[in-house]
Structure 1
């Protein structure tokens, strides 16, 4: 939403850091969407504020004999006060083709986060056969290290891997920031949650006295030969442990941290440490499969230890000129007997530039209505007399689906329950740029949703039959140039 790379075909797996007044965001180009040849390597964008980004370009090129490359994260040398070095990891696949070969990890070092020196093969990091598969195929992963401070010195490392005995991740420790001692993979205690058959780890962080892992998964049981189907689900999930080595268990609330159905619209949440607190970054993909850097978000935990994505106040810098609006019913649209009413705003918005809509829901139901819609929400026109409806059932439950402009023929596409305490009044924030949207309620992210490329800029407010209202409505244009 906030940034799209121009020098690569499709950016993927964003990760970053903050240092001395600058936000750094790295990404690779997605090899899976290149018609021929490997991806180019790892590229960089920088920002003075975490909102407005400038492309720098390629900083770590892929080796000439590698078929494709994966990326990791950034961490400081354990001796940073003496050597001033940052380290990063990337993986390279070597073999006869993209499906047959082996994946190993390599490292690079930098003192300015821009000029990176690839370290030699003596630092090459390959699967440990005691606990991890190392077969010459795509089923044996060894990629994407994220690190965390280790009590007593050094760092713990967690990475995408293929344990021999169970679906899980790689685990180890390092005292110099580069040579990792491989340890036994953490166990997963699934409880009542159906076990997943593979993971990618995006981040690990200690919050209060617990350890929070951000795990990526796509339900490949609902993929066909052409890829993702309308029933395919996936995204990022939260697992929690009492100790660094696990066992990990699915979060009891908001386990589905950032998920999707039918379209891989968001992926790969990563922790982003900033002087403004612990943030999370991720990318988003529109329905033309173009990938953008999403707005940075806060990592928020409540008293019960539930992790949620929250609005980061730094994103206020995206607001430009306020647009005066009012909502009226469009009497030119034929009305049918229906439960939903749409009051259209009196502006057609420039979604290429982007908008921010804020206000408050009043008199929302204090529970979910099973037989009818009693809340309020939004209608985003995608073509004449049809669009996307965002229906806020209550503070916790929101649905996304298709709706006709006369309020009829609603078809649900995705339902989100953030398992929040119910309130009849809550504030909202809806951000839309190009064909990507994000909805927040009381500054907690509800969902990121990709619109169709035909979105027209015509927006309405949706109401159910029981008296819910929208108050204090304000709209701003985003201030991208």
Structure 2
């Protein structure tokens, strides 16, 4: 919703790093394949990004694609001033088959990167993982007794689907990594987004192809991991993907991308995605991982927009005139639940059905009064008071919604070419409980 590089036609996975009051955003470049390299953008507020383009390009030995990574400080940072990143490449092995290996690079400024080359290569540990399975994108977190723990995509031994799985390991210096056997992941997961320790438990954000990104919990780094009993689906499939934790001095944030609904037809048919607004990661008093609205996103608010009080039909009150959907719109206010918010993009209409128990569905209506179809539903399993504050963010065919700063969902509205957007509220008593309505054009 917020950032897409103008230097490339398509991007996918994103990850970030925070250092010296500056945010560094890395994005996988996917114009012609699942990955040709990654770029970097820089921000002082986490909202407005200065794009520097290429950070790492695939080598001449790469056969299939270059995979994502993460960034951490070298353990000798005080002396060397070096940061480390990892990435993967498929290369041909001695048997003429493509196998994925993890490689490393270093940087002083987090923008310009130098590859370590083949001197530091982390190959599949065939004791625990399949040689020709996935082996990709290490995400590190601090290890209490020094060094790092890590999670990455690795195909456990004996797994039939070689295109995914979760692997774990550790490193004493951030360059030489050692795999350990993974415990059971229930239900099975295909990709590892991120892992963090909150209190005495580990919270994994792992990808399930059918459901999206799910929250998994374990008492130990290597598992077993069980999907959370509440709020299990963090991001719904087909709308957003690949969240990574982003540590700052004050809080743990989450960075991920959202699908715009647009496709780039190059050598392959690739999704066009945008970096989503950063979110705050928090574990509640029930031990449930939840995403929250991040206060830094207040920097998104640009020029105020006049609020309407126009009865469009007996069942609907419009809150805004049509606004520039490509520029973006933010609407906030207070309402009573259950409620139905109305969104119109050009001649396509949507209704957000929200109740007091954390359930939300989004229905799309075809132009000129066609039948409704549900395009998304979520249950956050959270009890809201009768009167709640809402935040609605819309831009370029994408939507984000919050209740009392609890993240509800991202949604790809499948209307990337729509130019205009307006907001209303539905119901016979559509104004009941509605107050403090404000709106802004996005400042990007």
Q: TM-score, structure 1 length as denominator?
A: 0.84
Q: Shift of residue 41 of structure 1?
A: 1.2
Equivalent positions of 1:32-181 (< 5 A) are 34=32, 39-67=35-63, 68-95=65-92, 101-135=98-132, 140-165=133-158, 168-181=165-178
How many Å separate the matches in 2 of 1:464 and 1:418?
23
Q: Shift of residue 443 of structure 1?
A: 0.5
How many Å separate the matches in 1 of 2:117 and 2:169?
21
Q: Shift of residue 460 of structure 1?
A: 3.5
Q: What do residues 270-312 of structure 1 show as CA deviations (whole Å, max 9, x unaligned)?
A: 0011123100000011111321111110001110111111100
Query: 1:438 is matched with which residue: 400, 423, 434?
Result: 400
Q: Are the counterparts in 2 of residues 154 and 177 from structure 1 also a CA contact under 8 Å?
A: yes
Matching residue of 1:231: none
How many residues align? The count is: 427
5+ residue gaps, structure 1, are 220-233, 336-340, 365-374
Matching residue of 1:417: 379
Matching residue of 1:19: 19
Q: Shift of residue 208 of structure 1?
A: 1.4
Helix, strand or coil for the counterpart of 1:159?
Answer: strand
Helix, strand or coil for the counterpart of 1:81?
Answer: helix
Q: Are the counterparts in 2 of residues 24 and 44 from structure 1 also a CA contact under 8 Å?
A: yes
Q: Is 1:218 the equivalent of 2:187?
A: no
Q: What do residues 126-184 of structure 1 show as CA deviations (whole Å, max 9, x unaligned)?
A: 1111111013xxxx000010111112111111110000145841111111110012211
Matching residue of 2:268: none
Query: 2:229 is matched with which residue: 235, 252, 260?
Result: 252
CA shift in 2, pair 1:173/1:19, >3 Å: same
How many Å separate the matches in 1 of 2:316 and 2:123?
58
Q: Shift of residue 324 of structure 1?
A: 1.6
Helix, strand or coil for the counterpart of 2:68?
Answer: strand
CA shift in 2, pair 1:406/1:461, >3 Å: farther
Q: Are the counterparts in 2 of residues 393 and 399 from structure 1 also a CA contact under 8 Å?
A: no
Matching residue of 2:437: 473
Say what the alpha-carbon RMSD is for the aligned residues.
2.2
Helix, strand or coil for the counterpart of 1:295?
Answer: coil
Matching residue of 2:267: none
How many Å separate the matches in 2 of 1:415 and 1:478?
26
**4+ residue segments displaced more than 6 Å:** 404-408
CA shift in 2, pair 1:273/1:301, >3 Å: same
Q: Are the counterparts in 2 of residues 348 and 459 from structure 1 also a CA contact under 8 Å?
A: yes
Matching residue of 1:307: 289
CA shift in 2, pair 1:434/1:168, >3 Å: closer
How many Å separate the matches in 1 of 2:235 and 2:167?
22
Q: Is 1:344 the equivalent of 2:344?
A: no
Q: What do residues 354-386 of structure 1 show as CA deviations (whole Å, max 9, x unaligned)?
A: 111000112x2xxxxxxxxxx3232222343x4
Q: What do residues 174-229 of structure 1 show as CA deviations (whole Å, max 9, x unaligned)?
A: 111100122112222x3xxxx33x4110111111111111101212xxxxxxxxxx
5+ residue gaps, structure 2, are 263-270
Query: 2:342 is matched with which residue: 379, 385, 389?
Result: 379
Q: Shift of residue 115 of structure 1?
A: 1.7
How many Å separate the matches in 1 of 2:421 and 2:251?
36
Equivalent positions of 1:262-301 (< 5 A) are 264-288=238-262, 289-301=271-283
How many Å separate the matches in 1 of 2:356 and 2:68?
39
Matching residue of 1:370: none
Matching residue of 1:202: 193
Q: Are the counterparts in 1 of residues 396 and 417 from structure 2 also a CA contact under 8 Å?
A: no
How many Å separate the matches in 2 of 1:247 and 1:280?
23
How many Å separate the matches in 1 of 2:139 and 2:66?
16
Q: Are the counterparts in 2 of residues 359 and 471 from structure 1 also a CA contact under 8 Å?
A: yes
How many Å separate the matches in 2 of 1:141 and 1:23?
29
